[in-house]
Structure 1
């Protein structure tokens, strides 16, 4: 079977076109994570490459299975030109390395926090992991390997992240929807969290 990262890159290119930039980040004791940038009109899309090379393992598991377990890559879409969003490359690589470094399983509904602004002057330090399947479809791999899922990331302000911890991901997404929040605006304010 072909290398998983090669298959993932081919899927990203078929869904998003040719990337116009690539950055690589390596953390001590981990495999390299690439972040690809795709420009689509007034949107910039960032996609990780390398997170899915190994399956994510439940930190409570006694032994990591080298083949079985969920695999994913991360996608972030923002409007171009309003902020220096290209500086999100390192934070995205940090998030993509978290399964290897911290033993977390990244799944829809979970929150990921980098502890600093995602890019200069960003009002966001964390993201909500959304449901896959909209922009880039799952990539099936030969059994027993699970498919690679492409998980969209929705930036959250600290207040939104705190509200989500209390009320849940679905409630926050409903609030964004009901208020017409532009989740691709790199400088947006927090959604109203009280009625």
Structure 2
């Protein structure tokens, strides 16, 4: 596991540069989850480190396979200096621990909710998991292990999350695109959903 996390951190550093801060959170009965912060070009990027140490297991499986199954880390990008976004460290760690705690398999198109604002004053309590491969390439591991995917998180307002439950992730992303929504704006309001 430690070898996998070392490879994951190396991949993050090669794609995003040197982290300028890191925090670690441990929840009862789970492995340690770290969140790394990368700043530059007017953006702040947060990346989890620890979620990929073990594969995510189907919650209905009798025994979890220690090698096979999807592996992922989470990425969140916001514009710097507009809001106190460093408070997102704990909610990100909670989301990254959810496969261990809740037996959740995190995949593109999923909604994840932390039940409180992602940071102080944030209009977002949940995120949409987007497709990997844009910012950080998948990290291939030795067979039979699946690659580590770096899943971008897109903050959603309560109205957007409710609309997504009815219409689906692709429809919400189309609305955002059609309206020119800046998904990196930590202060943005909900997109018009009419």
TM-score, normalising length from structure 2? 0.99
Q: Which residue of structure 2 aligns with residue 13 of structure 1?
A: 13
Within the alignment, does 1:162 sit opposite 2:165 as a pair? no
Matches within 5 A, 1:37-116: 37-116=37-116
Equivalent residue, structure 1, for 2:177:
177
Stretches of 4+ aligned residues off by more than 3 angstroms: none
> What is the SS of the residue equivalent to 1:100?
helix
Q: Secondary structure at the match of 2:187?
A: coil
1:33 alignment counterpart: 33
Whether the 8 Å contact between 2:37 and 2:45 is mirrored in structure 1 is yes
CA RMSD of aligned residues (A): 0.9
Aligned to 1:141: 141
CA distance in 1: counterparts of 2:27 and 2:136, whole angstroms: 27
Matched, 1:125 2:125: yes
2:2 touches 2:53 (CA, 8 Å); kept in 1? Answer: no
Aligned length: 194
Deviations 1:124-166 (A, max 9, x none): 0000000000000000000011000000000000000000000
Measured in 1, the distance between the counterparts of 2:193 and 2:2 equals 47
Cα drift, residue 191 of structure 1: 0.2
**Structure 1 residue 2 displacement after superposition:** 6.8
Instruction: Deviation per CA, 1:30-57: give whole Å up to 9, x if none.
Output: 0000000000210000000000000000
Deviation at residue 184 of structure 1 after TM alignment: 0.2
In the alignment, which residue of structure 2 is the partner of 1:22? 22
TM-score by length of 1: 0.98
| Mapped partners of 1:2, 1:30: distance in 2 | 15
SS at match of 1:125: strand
Provide Cα deviations, 1:62-81, integer angstroms capped at 9, x if missing partner: 11000000000000000011
Runs of at least 5 residues in structure 1 that lack an aligned partner in the other structure:
none
